């Protein structure tokens, strides 16, 4: 299937008001596929108060920014590349010992109580992760 056919198929999945805006704007530019993708993404991220005008202008703005700073805005869709924010977060992560010391000071609990709190929170996090892993998709297929 050609890229043009895929673009039109994706365009057909969008609401009619958004389709009309994309088609009207497309005649003036050559970023048809990119505009459709960004419109779909903006539609998914839209809040209940967002209008189709806001959604479309957000998508058009993203397309412009993408062409202006390609290195910054183009990344893999699966997110495998570690960006600066993730590196900073990794540097800010604290060890268990540091966390225990913080809990002792903040909650004014003993060393043993702080260790129990950490253990309990880690167990809860593991249970929640298991729930999401086995929830599956809408077809009932586990992830």
Band (79; pLDDT cuts 50, 70, 90) = low
Nearest to 73 by CA among 45, 32, 30, 37: 37
Residue 80 lies in a domain: no
State mean pLDDT over 58-65.
86
Domain final residue, candidates 73, 95, 116: 73
Same domain, 58 and 96: no
Same domain, 10 and 60: yes
Residue 81: predicted pLDDT:
55
Same domain, 66 and 101: no
Same domain, 29 and 60: yes
Band (143; pLDDT cuts 50, 70, 90) = very low
Same domain, 65 and 96: no
- Distances from the Cα of 87 to the Cαs of 54, 82, 84, 126, in angstroms? 33, 7, 5, 24
**Position 84 pLDDT exceeds 70:** no
Residue 140 lies in a domain: no
* Helix locations, 13-110, DSSP H: 16-26, 32-45, 52-68, 70-73, 84-92, 96-107
Domain final residue, candidates 73, 96, 112: 73
High-pLDDT (> 70) share of the chain, %: 69
Residue 91: predicted pLDDT:
66
Highest mean pLDDT among 62-71, 96-105, 128-137: 96-105
Same domain, 14 and 66: yes
Q: Which pLDDT tens digit goes with each residue over 4-48? A: 888 888 888 888 998 888 888 876 666 788 888 888 988 998 888
Residue 50 lies in a domain: yes
Residue 110: predicted pLDDT:
92
Specify the number of domains making up the chain: 2
Lowest mean pLDDT among 58-67, 69-78, 87-96: 69-78
Domain that holds residue 65: 3-73
Residue 107 lies in a domain: yes
């Amino acid at each position: 299937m050609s890229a043009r056919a895929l673009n039109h198929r994706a365009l057909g999945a969008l609401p009619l008001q958004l389709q009309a805006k994309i088609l009207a704007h497309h005649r003036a530019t050559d970023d048809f596929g990119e505009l459709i993708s960004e419109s779909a993404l903006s539609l998914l991220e839209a809040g209940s108060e967002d209008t189709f005008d806001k959604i479309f202008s957000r998508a058009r703005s993203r397309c412009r920014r993408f062409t202006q700073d390609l290195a910054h805005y183009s990344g893999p869709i699966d997110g495998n590349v570690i960006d600066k924010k993730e590196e900073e977060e990794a540097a800010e992560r604290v060890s268990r010992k540091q966390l225990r010391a913080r809990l002792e000071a903040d909650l004014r609990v003993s060393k043993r109580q702080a260790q129990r709190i950490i253990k309990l929170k880690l167990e809860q996090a593991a249970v929640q992760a298991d729930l999401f892993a086995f929830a599956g998709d809408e077809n009932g297929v586990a992830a």
